[in-house]
Structure 1
Amino acid sequence: MTFSEEHKEQQALFDEQGATRRKKRRKGSKSWKKKRPMAKASIADILPIRDMTDDGAFQLQGDGGYMDMMQLQSKDIYSPSTDETEYDIMIMAKFFQSYASDIKIVSMNFPVDMQQQLDAVDRRIKQNTSPLYERFLMKKRDELTFLEQHRTNREFYLFMYASSMKQLAEYRNNCRRYLGRVAPLLPLMEEKKLDLLYKLYNQNSKLEKRG
């Protein structure tokens, strides 16, 4: 009987210690919930971009420096000869070896811009007097409208980063000089740059127009 009473007392003691530990864990979880960081008030606090400069570059948040982007003119990789392909690979390899600063190549799908073709067909429709030819023009217009709504172009962009605007201008010139023979760099309008950033951070969205 004495052994049984001691065993009950020990079991009760263990239960009290377990309850004390559970209470401490609950208190600790409450204090952890109170210390959770507040959510950002605006998307501007999350994006790394702070503002656009006068020449179309982007100033990054904090001490991130500056960023700019240019479009890489794509080329057919199947029709050139083996020597031409090897030459392009060699030039690109030298570029990546010599360019020590931060750089990024981004590929993205953009809507097909058929506005010029649609305008030309609309002019033909207004000037046309033949019912048979009008049927052909209307069919052509429907095809162009379908392409604009359901097809996209794969485009490639070069993102450059620098600590100052002067350094960024030097990087632009270097990239143009090194890549000119393989993939010439095309400047982008400010509207196209904003469209590119919007598409980059909203990849499931569809742009209504191109920059």
Structure 2
Amino acid sequence: MGKVNEIPASPMDFLLFPIWVHKKLSVKVKGLIFAFLFVGVFDMFFYQNLYKEGFFEGNPGSLIFKIFLFVILSLLVGAIDVICTMVPISEMAIMIGKRSEKYVSARVPVILMKSYAVSHLLFVIPTAFFVYSGVDWNLVDVTSTTQVRLIFSILIIVLNFMPLFQLGVMYRTISIRTRIQIFGRLILIMTTYFWMRFSGATVMFFVTLFQDMLLK
């Protein structure tokens, strides 16, 4: 599905990804497997420090089995995350398109699910540093070194702002791949913000459950 509104290049291309990335999000359903797997691996791998939890310990046979189980569980939790989060938003986008007489493809759920998966790329570096740096950030206080407190402050600010940029990525996808006008897009993004907070709790339930299965 092509689009639509031509958006000029801007400095935000660095954070919200260039226009060509959004245009490359295909409507092919089979591509969702990679989206599910990527989001699931993100959810599972960054939930806690797997190295400290002993995930990589054991003989080669045991490790291979755990990695295989990790991939399967990641695919499951990724599917739950992506579908539960974006399908309702996609249906709302189609509804807004119909009401405003602005064409929205019936395949937009596939595009938005892939956009949601791509938006997780923003979190990889800061989250990896937060989880796997070896620093117990819960123990950072006024007695910690200046460097640690500075890094901690920057990290918290970045992680708190990342969800807003994630919404920005999805807003840009909607802008490029649909004809929904600004007011409709804003409604969608505001709804997405609150819905993600709700669906996130459900996703974390399954992540916790699968982590227990993986590490027992």
Q: How high is the TM-score relative to the length of structure 2?
A: 0.23
Q: Which protein shows a greater Rg?
A: 1
The structure with more helix, counted as a fraction of residues: 2
The structure with more strand, counted as a fraction of residues: 1
Higher relative contact order (CA closer than 8 Å, sequence separation 6+): 2
